[in-house]
Amino acid sequence: MPPFQQISLILDERQLLTRFWQAASVFWRVQTGRAATLAIFLVAVVLVQLVVQVALNMWNRRFFDALERKDAATVWLQAQLFVPLAAGSIVLAAASVWGRMTAQRSWREALTRHVIEKWMEKDRFHQLNHLAKGSENPEYRISVDVRIATDAPIDLSLAFFSSILTALTFFGVLWTIGGSIDVAVFGRSVTFPGYLVFGVIIYSGMVTSLMIVFGHHLSSVIERNNQAEAEFRAAADTFRQEPAPQNEHQVDRRETLQLKLQAVLLWWREFSWQLVRTTLVSHGNFLLAPVVAWMLCAPKYLSGSMSLGELTQAAAAFVVVQGAFNWFVDNYQRLADWRSSAHRVATLLLALDELEAKERGEKSATS
Protein backbone atom coordinates (compact mmCIF):
# COMPACT_ATOMS: atom_id res chain seq x y z
CA MET A 1 0.00 0.00 0.00
CA PRO A 2 1.52 3.37 -0.97
CA PRO A 3 2.31 5.64 1.98
CA PHE A 4 -0.43 8.22 1.38
CA GLN A 5 -3.04 9.51 3.75
CA GLN A 6 -6.61 9.25 2.53
CA ILE A 7 -7.67 12.35 0.66
CA SER A 8 -11.10 13.77 1.32
CA LEU A 9 -12.23 16.49 -1.01
CA ILE A 10 -14.53 19.11 0.46
CA LEU A 11 -14.60 21.86 -2.09
CA ASP A 12 -16.52 25.00 -2.83
CA GLU A 13 -18.01 26.12 -6.11
CA ARG A 14 -15.41 28.78 -6.88
CA GLN A 15 -12.49 26.45 -6.21
CA LEU A 16 -14.00 23.82 -8.52
CA LEU A 17 -14.76 26.18 -11.39
CA THR A 18 -11.34 27.85 -11.13
CA ARG A 19 -9.62 24.48 -11.32
CA PHE A 20 -11.81 23.39 -14.24
CA TRP A 21 -11.11 26.51 -16.30
CA GLN A 22 -7.43 26.34 -15.46
CA ALA A 23 -7.27 22.89 -17.04
CA ALA A 24 -9.83 23.53 -19.79
CA SER A 25 -7.95 26.59 -21.05
CA VAL A 26 -5.09 24.28 -22.10
CA PHE A 27 -6.63 24.08 -25.60
CA TRP A 28 -6.83 27.86 -25.95
CA ARG A 29 -3.30 28.35 -24.54
CA VAL A 30 -1.44 25.55 -26.32
CA GLN A 31 -3.26 25.43 -29.67
CA THR A 32 -3.87 29.17 -29.88
CA GLY A 33 -3.76 29.37 -33.70
CA ARG A 34 -6.28 26.57 -34.27
CA ALA A 35 -8.53 27.75 -31.43
CA ALA A 36 -8.55 31.34 -32.70
CA THR A 37 -9.26 30.24 -36.30
CA LEU A 38 -12.22 28.14 -35.17
CA ALA A 39 -13.52 30.94 -32.93
CA ILE A 40 -13.32 33.51 -35.76
CA PHE A 41 -15.03 31.06 -38.15
CA LEU A 42 -17.87 30.44 -35.71
CA VAL A 43 -18.40 34.13 -34.97
CA ALA A 44 -18.39 34.85 -38.73
CA VAL A 45 -21.02 32.14 -39.29
CA VAL A 46 -23.22 33.67 -36.58
CA LEU A 47 -22.92 37.11 -38.18
CA VAL A 48 -23.72 35.85 -41.70
CA GLN A 49 -26.61 33.79 -40.29
CA LEU A 50 -27.99 36.97 -38.79
CA VAL A 51 -27.73 38.75 -42.14
CA VAL A 52 -29.63 35.89 -43.82
CA GLN A 53 -32.22 35.94 -41.04
CA VAL A 54 -32.82 39.67 -41.59
CA ALA A 55 -33.01 39.10 -45.36
CA LEU A 56 -35.60 36.35 -44.82
CA ASN A 57 -37.55 38.65 -42.52
CA MET A 58 -37.59 41.35 -45.19
CA TRP A 59 -38.52 38.75 -47.81
CA ASN A 60 -41.53 37.91 -45.67
CA ARG A 61 -42.76 41.48 -45.94
CA ARG A 62 -42.25 41.76 -49.71
CA PHE A 63 -43.91 38.40 -50.36
CA PHE A 64 -47.02 39.11 -48.31
CA ASP A 65 -47.32 42.66 -49.66
CA ALA A 66 -47.28 41.21 -53.18
CA LEU A 67 -49.93 38.67 -52.18
CA GLU A 68 -52.09 41.45 -50.73
CA ARG A 69 -51.78 43.43 -54.00
CA LYS A 70 -52.37 40.21 -56.00
CA ASP A 71 -49.16 41.08 -57.86
CA ALA A 72 -48.33 37.74 -59.51
CA ALA A 73 -45.03 38.90 -61.06
CA THR A 74 -43.61 40.02 -57.70
CA VAL A 75 -44.86 36.86 -55.97
CA TRP A 76 -43.02 34.76 -58.59
CA LEU A 77 -39.89 36.92 -58.23
CA GLN A 78 -39.97 36.58 -54.44
CA ALA A 79 -40.48 32.82 -54.75
CA GLN A 80 -37.29 32.67 -56.86
CA LEU A 81 -35.41 34.89 -54.40
CA PHE A 82 -36.36 32.55 -51.59
CA VAL A 83 -34.28 29.73 -53.11
CA PRO A 84 -30.82 31.35 -52.62
CA LEU A 85 -31.86 32.67 -49.22
CA ALA A 86 -32.99 29.23 -48.08
CA ALA A 87 -29.90 27.59 -49.61
CA GLY A 88 -27.66 30.11 -47.82
CA SER A 89 -29.43 29.45 -44.54
CA ILE A 90 -29.07 25.67 -44.95
CA VAL A 91 -25.37 25.88 -45.86
CA LEU A 92 -24.71 28.18 -42.91
CA ALA A 93 -26.52 25.82 -40.51
CA ALA A 94 -24.36 22.95 -41.78
CA ALA A 95 -21.19 25.08 -41.52
CA SER A 96 -22.14 26.02 -37.97
CA VAL A 97 -22.53 22.36 -36.99
CA TRP A 98 -19.15 21.50 -38.54
CA GLY A 99 -17.42 24.45 -36.84
CA ARG A 100 -18.95 23.78 -33.45
CA MET A 101 -18.26 20.08 -33.48
CA THR A 102 -14.70 20.58 -34.71
CA ALA A 103 -14.04 23.07 -31.92
CA GLN A 104 -15.70 20.76 -29.38
CA ARG A 105 -13.70 17.75 -30.57
CA SER A 106 -10.41 19.66 -30.45
CA TRP A 107 -11.15 21.08 -27.01
CA ARG A 108 -12.22 17.70 -25.68
CA GLU A 109 -9.09 16.07 -27.08
CA ALA A 110 -6.81 18.65 -25.45
CA LEU A 111 -8.51 18.44 -22.04
CA THR A 112 -8.83 14.63 -22.10
CA ARG A 113 -5.14 14.22 -22.95
CA HIS A 114 -4.24 16.66 -20.17
CA VAL A 115 -6.31 14.78 -17.57
CA ILE A 116 -5.19 11.32 -18.75
CA GLU A 117 -1.56 12.40 -18.56
CA LYS A 118 -1.96 13.47 -14.94
CA TRP A 119 -4.01 10.36 -14.12
CA MET A 120 -1.55 7.86 -15.61
CA GLU A 121 1.67 9.50 -14.45
CA LYS A 122 3.37 7.47 -11.69
CA ASP A 123 0.39 5.08 -11.59
CA ARG A 124 -1.77 7.70 -9.90
CA PHE A 125 -4.90 5.97 -11.25
CA HIS A 126 -4.09 3.07 -8.94
CA GLN A 127 -3.52 5.25 -5.88
CA LEU A 128 -6.64 7.28 -6.68
CA ASN A 129 -8.80 4.14 -6.68
CA HIS A 130 -7.80 3.35 -3.14
CA LEU A 131 -7.18 6.66 -1.49
CA ALA A 132 -9.09 9.62 -2.81
CA LYS A 133 -12.64 10.15 -1.64
CA GLY A 134 -14.83 12.37 -3.82
CA SER A 135 -13.20 11.31 -7.09
CA GLU A 136 -14.88 7.94 -7.60
CA ASN A 137 -15.42 6.62 -11.10
CA PRO A 138 -12.51 8.50 -12.75
CA GLU A 139 -12.97 6.66 -16.07
CA TYR A 140 -16.45 8.10 -16.45
CA ARG A 141 -15.24 11.58 -15.52
CA ILE A 142 -12.47 11.40 -18.12
CA SER A 143 -14.69 10.08 -20.91
CA VAL A 144 -18.19 11.49 -20.43
CA ASP A 145 -17.82 14.44 -18.07
CA VAL A 146 -14.94 15.97 -20.03
CA ARG A 147 -17.03 15.69 -23.21
CA ILE A 148 -20.07 17.40 -21.64
CA ALA A 149 -17.89 20.03 -19.96
CA THR A 150 -16.24 21.00 -23.28
CA ASP A 151 -19.30 20.60 -25.54
CA ALA A 152 -21.66 22.85 -23.66
CA PRO A 153 -19.58 26.06 -23.33
CA ILE A 154 -19.17 26.33 -27.12
CA ASP A 155 -22.87 25.78 -27.86
CA LEU A 156 -24.01 27.98 -24.99
CA SER A 157 -21.67 30.90 -25.67
CA LEU A 158 -22.46 30.89 -29.39
CA ALA A 159 -26.19 30.76 -28.67
CA PHE A 160 -25.80 33.61 -26.18
CA PHE A 161 -23.81 35.73 -28.65
CA SER A 162 -26.34 35.01 -31.38
CA SER A 163 -29.25 35.85 -29.05
CA ILE A 164 -27.84 39.24 -28.13
CA LEU A 165 -27.12 40.19 -31.74
CA THR A 166 -30.52 38.90 -32.89
CA ALA A 167 -32.37 40.80 -30.18
CA LEU A 168 -30.53 44.06 -30.97
CA THR A 169 -30.95 43.71 -34.74
CA PHE A 170 -34.63 42.83 -34.64
CA PHE A 171 -35.31 45.58 -32.12
CA GLY A 172 -34.49 47.84 -35.06
CA VAL A 173 -36.97 46.00 -37.29
CA LEU A 174 -39.70 46.19 -34.65
CA TRP A 175 -39.01 49.87 -34.00
CA THR A 176 -39.07 50.79 -37.69
CA ILE A 177 -41.98 48.61 -38.85
CA GLY A 178 -44.10 48.96 -35.73
CA GLY A 179 -43.57 52.68 -35.36
CA SER A 180 -45.77 54.39 -32.81
CA ILE A 181 -49.36 53.79 -31.81
CA ASP A 182 -51.97 56.19 -30.45
CA VAL A 183 -54.02 54.91 -27.53
CA ALA A 184 -56.93 56.68 -25.88
CA VAL A 185 -56.31 57.05 -22.13
CA PHE A 186 -59.04 58.76 -20.09
CA GLY A 187 -60.34 60.48 -23.19
CA ARG A 188 -56.93 61.75 -24.29
CA SER A 189 -54.83 60.35 -27.11
CA VAL A 190 -51.41 59.15 -25.93
CA THR A 191 -48.67 58.18 -28.40
CA PHE A 192 -46.41 55.19 -27.62
CA PRO A 193 -43.30 55.25 -29.82
CA GLY A 194 -41.71 51.89 -30.73
CA TYR A 195 -44.57 50.10 -29.01
CA LEU A 196 -43.67 46.68 -30.45
CA VAL A 197 -40.21 46.88 -28.83
CA PHE A 198 -41.76 47.59 -25.43
CA GLY A 199 -44.39 44.94 -26.15
CA VAL A 200 -41.80 42.25 -26.77
CA ILE A 201 -39.79 43.29 -23.69
CA ILE A 202 -42.87 43.14 -21.44
CA TYR A 203 -44.08 39.85 -22.95
CA SER A 204 -40.63 38.23 -22.70
CA GLY A 205 -40.27 39.47 -19.13
CA MET A 206 -43.58 37.84 -18.26
CA VAL A 207 -42.61 34.52 -19.90
CA THR A 208 -39.23 34.48 -18.19
CA SER A 209 -40.80 35.32 -14.82
CA LEU A 210 -43.34 32.52 -15.26
CA MET A 211 -40.56 30.14 -16.21
CA ILE A 212 -38.60 31.09 -13.12
CA VAL A 213 -41.67 30.59 -10.93
CA PHE A 214 -42.55 27.23 -12.51
CA GLY A 215 -39.04 25.88 -12.92
CA HIS A 216 -36.93 27.52 -10.24
CA HIS A 217 -36.00 24.10 -8.82
CA LEU A 218 -35.10 22.64 -12.22
CA SER A 219 -31.43 23.57 -12.26
CA SER A 220 -30.70 22.20 -8.77
CA VAL A 221 -32.79 19.06 -9.41
CA ILE A 222 -30.83 18.35 -12.62
CA GLU A 223 -27.58 18.76 -10.74
CA ARG A 224 -28.69 16.43 -7.96
CA ASN A 225 -29.96 13.95 -10.53
CA ASN A 226 -26.58 13.94 -12.29
CA GLN A 227 -24.80 13.57 -8.97
CA ALA A 228 -27.07 10.67 -8.00
CA GLU A 229 -26.34 8.97 -11.34
CA ALA A 230 -22.61 9.37 -10.71
CA GLU A 231 -22.94 7.92 -7.19
CA PHE A 232 -24.95 4.99 -8.56
CA ARG A 233 -22.24 4.26 -11.13
CA ALA A 234 -19.58 4.48 -8.42
CA ALA A 235 -21.57 2.07 -6.20
CA ALA A 236 -21.96 -0.37 -9.11
CA ASP A 237 -18.25 -0.09 -9.84
CA THR A 238 -17.39 -0.82 -6.19
CA PHE A 239 -19.80 -3.75 -6.17
CA ARG A 240 -18.18 -5.20 -9.30
CA GLN A 241 -14.71 -4.96 -7.77
CA GLU A 242 -15.70 -6.86 -4.61
CA PRO A 243 -13.48 -10.00 -4.53
CA ALA A 244 -15.48 -12.26 -2.18
CA PRO A 245 -19.10 -12.34 -3.37
CA GLN A 246 -20.83 -14.03 -0.45
CA ASN A 247 -19.57 -12.27 2.67
CA GLU A 248 -21.44 -9.82 4.92
CA HIS A 249 -19.62 -6.84 3.46
CA GLN A 250 -21.04 -7.67 0.04
CA VAL A 251 -24.54 -7.63 1.49
CA ASP A 252 -23.92 -4.05 2.66
CA ARG A 253 -22.71 -3.13 -0.80
CA ARG A 254 -25.82 -4.65 -2.35
CA GLU A 255 -27.91 -2.45 -0.04
CA THR A 256 -25.79 0.56 -0.95
CA LEU A 257 -26.33 -0.16 -4.62
CA GLN A 258 -30.09 -0.40 -4.11
CA LEU A 259 -30.06 2.80 -2.05
CA LYS A 260 -28.20 4.69 -4.78
CA LEU A 261 -30.60 3.33 -7.42
CA GLN A 262 -33.53 4.52 -5.32
CA ALA A 263 -31.96 7.98 -5.10
CA VAL A 264 -31.54 8.08 -8.90
CA LEU A 265 -35.17 7.06 -9.43
CA LEU A 266 -36.47 9.64 -6.97
CA TRP A 267 -34.43 12.47 -8.51
CA TRP A 268 -35.55 11.33 -11.96
CA ARG A 269 -39.17 11.44 -10.82
CA GLU A 270 -38.72 15.00 -9.54
CA PHE A 271 -36.86 15.96 -12.73
CA SER A 272 -39.78 14.75 -14.84
CA TRP A 273 -42.23 16.80 -12.73
CA GLN A 274 -40.04 19.88 -13.14
CA LEU A 275 -40.05 19.34 -16.91
CA VAL A 276 -43.82 18.95 -16.89
CA ARG A 277 -44.14 22.28 -15.07
CA THR A 278 -41.76 24.16 -17.39
CA THR A 279 -43.40 22.60 -20.47
CA LEU A 280 -46.67 24.26 -19.44
CA VAL A 281 -44.94 27.63 -19.82
CA SER A 282 -42.73 26.85 -22.82
CA HIS A 283 -45.48 25.27 -24.90
CA GLY A 284 -47.92 28.00 -23.89
CA ASN A 285 -45.36 30.53 -25.06
CA PHE A 286 -44.83 28.63 -28.32
CA LEU A 287 -48.55 28.98 -29.08
CA LEU A 288 -49.04 32.46 -27.67
CA ALA A 289 -46.01 34.45 -28.90
CA PRO A 290 -47.06 34.78 -32.59
CA VAL A 291 -50.67 35.48 -31.57
CA VAL A 292 -49.55 38.26 -29.20
CA ALA A 293 -47.50 39.75 -32.04
CA TRP A 294 -50.46 39.66 -34.42
CA MET A 295 -52.77 41.14 -31.78
CA LEU A 296 -50.31 43.99 -31.14
CA CYS A 297 -50.08 44.73 -34.87
CA ALA A 298 -53.77 44.21 -35.64
CA PRO A 299 -54.95 47.76 -34.68
CA LYS A 300 -52.48 49.33 -37.12
CA TYR A 301 -53.29 46.82 -39.86
CA LEU A 302 -57.02 47.31 -39.44
CA SER A 303 -56.63 51.10 -39.47
CA GLY A 304 -54.71 50.78 -42.76
CA SER A 305 -51.42 52.17 -41.47
CA MET A 306 -49.66 48.79 -41.71
CA SER A 307 -49.62 46.47 -44.73
CA LEU A 308 -50.06 42.69 -44.56
CA GLY A 309 -46.35 42.29 -45.38
CA GLU A 310 -45.37 44.61 -42.54
CA LEU A 311 -47.68 42.72 -40.19
CA THR A 312 -46.09 39.35 -41.01
CA GLN A 313 -42.58 40.86 -40.85
CA ALA A 314 -43.27 42.47 -37.48
CA ALA A 315 -44.87 39.28 -36.12
CA ALA A 316 -41.89 37.20 -37.29
CA ALA A 317 -39.45 39.72 -35.76
CA PHE A 318 -41.42 39.67 -32.50
CA VAL A 319 -41.12 35.87 -32.31
CA VAL A 320 -37.40 35.99 -33.16
CA VAL A 321 -36.65 38.60 -30.45
CA GLN A 322 -38.79 36.73 -27.95
CA GLY A 323 -36.87 33.53 -28.76
CA ALA A 324 -33.56 35.37 -28.25
CA PHE A 325 -34.74 36.55 -24.83
CA ASN A 326 -35.40 32.93 -23.92
CA TRP A 327 -31.72 31.95 -24.05
CA PHE A 328 -31.42 31.38 -20.33
CA VAL A 329 -34.72 29.53 -20.06
CA ASP A 330 -33.99 27.33 -23.09
CA ASN A 331 -30.56 26.41 -21.77
CA TYR A 332 -31.43 25.75 -18.13
CA GLN A 333 -30.86 22.03 -18.51
CA ARG A 334 -27.59 22.25 -20.43
CA LEU A 335 -26.21 24.81 -17.98
CA ALA A 336 -26.98 22.47 -15.08
CA ASP A 337 -25.51 19.48 -16.93
CA TRP A 338 -22.37 21.46 -17.72
CA ARG A 339 -21.99 22.64 -14.12
CA SER A 340 -22.17 19.16 -12.65
CA SER A 341 -19.79 17.70 -15.25
CA ALA A 342 -17.32 20.57 -14.77
CA HIS A 343 -17.52 19.97 -11.00
CA ARG A 344 -16.74 16.28 -11.42
CA VAL A 345 -13.80 16.91 -13.74
CA ALA A 346 -12.46 19.53 -11.33
CA THR A 347 -12.85 17.19 -8.34
CA LEU A 348 -10.78 14.55 -10.15
CA LEU A 349 -8.13 17.12 -11.09
CA LEU A 350 -7.90 18.40 -7.51
CA ALA A 351 -7.52 14.84 -6.21
CA LEU A 352 -4.70 14.29 -8.72
CA ASP A 353 -3.16 17.62 -7.63
CA GLU A 354 -3.22 16.37 -4.03
CA LEU A 355 -1.46 13.17 -5.00
CA GLU A 356 1.09 15.14 -7.01
CA ALA A 357 1.75 17.45 -4.07
CA LYS A 358 2.25 14.47 -1.74
CA GLU A 359 4.64 12.89 -4.23
CA ARG A 360 6.68 16.10 -4.28
CA GLY A 361 6.62 16.23 -0.46
CA GLU A 362 7.86 12.64 -0.25
CA LYS A 363 10.60 13.28 -2.77
CA SER A 364 11.93 16.33 -0.92
CA ALA A 365 11.75 14.42 2.39
CA THR A 366 13.89 11.54 1.05
CA SER A 367 16.48 13.78 -0.69
Q: Which residues bind other proteins (CB under 8 A)?
A: 217, 220-221, 223-224, 228, 231, 251, 255, 258-263, 265-267, 269-270, 273
Residues 6+ apart with CB under 8 A from 149: 20, 24, 111, 338, 341, 342, 345
254 vs 334, which CB is nearer to other proteins? 254
Distance CA 326, CA 163 (A): 9
30 vs 259, which CB is nearer to other proteins? 259
180 vs 220, which CB is nearer to other proteins? 220
- 134 phi and psi angles, rounded to 5 deg: 90, 0
263 vs 324, which CB is nearer to other proteins? 263
Closest contact distance (angstroms) between CB of 145 and other proteins is: 20
Neighbours of 159 (CB within 10 A): 16
- Residue 34: is it exposed, middle or buried by C-beta count within 10 angstroms (0-12/13-18/19+)? middle
126 vs 269, which CB is nearer to other proteins? 269
Closest contact distance (angstroms) between CB of 143 and other proteins is: 24
Residues 6+ apart with CB under 8 A from 147: 108
Closest contact distance (angstroms) between CB of 232 and other proteins is: 10
Distance of CA 251 to the CA centre of its chain: 41
274 close to 235: Cβ distance less than 8 angstroms = no
Closest contact distance (angstroms) between CB of 333 and other proteins is: 14
128 vs 218, which CB is nearer to other proteins? 218
Closest contact distance (angstroms) between CB of 241 and other proteins is: 20
Closest contact distance (angstroms) between CB of 258 and other proteins is: 4
Q: DSSP letter at 123?
A: G
Residues 6+ apart with CB under 8 A from 60: 309, 312, 313, 316
7 close to 136: Cβ distance less than 8 angstroms = no
338 close to 148: Cβ distance less than 8 angstroms = yes
Closest contact distance (angstroms) between CB of 230 and other proteins is: 12
Three-state secondary-structure class, residue 299:
helix
191 vs 272, which CB is nearer to other proteins? 272
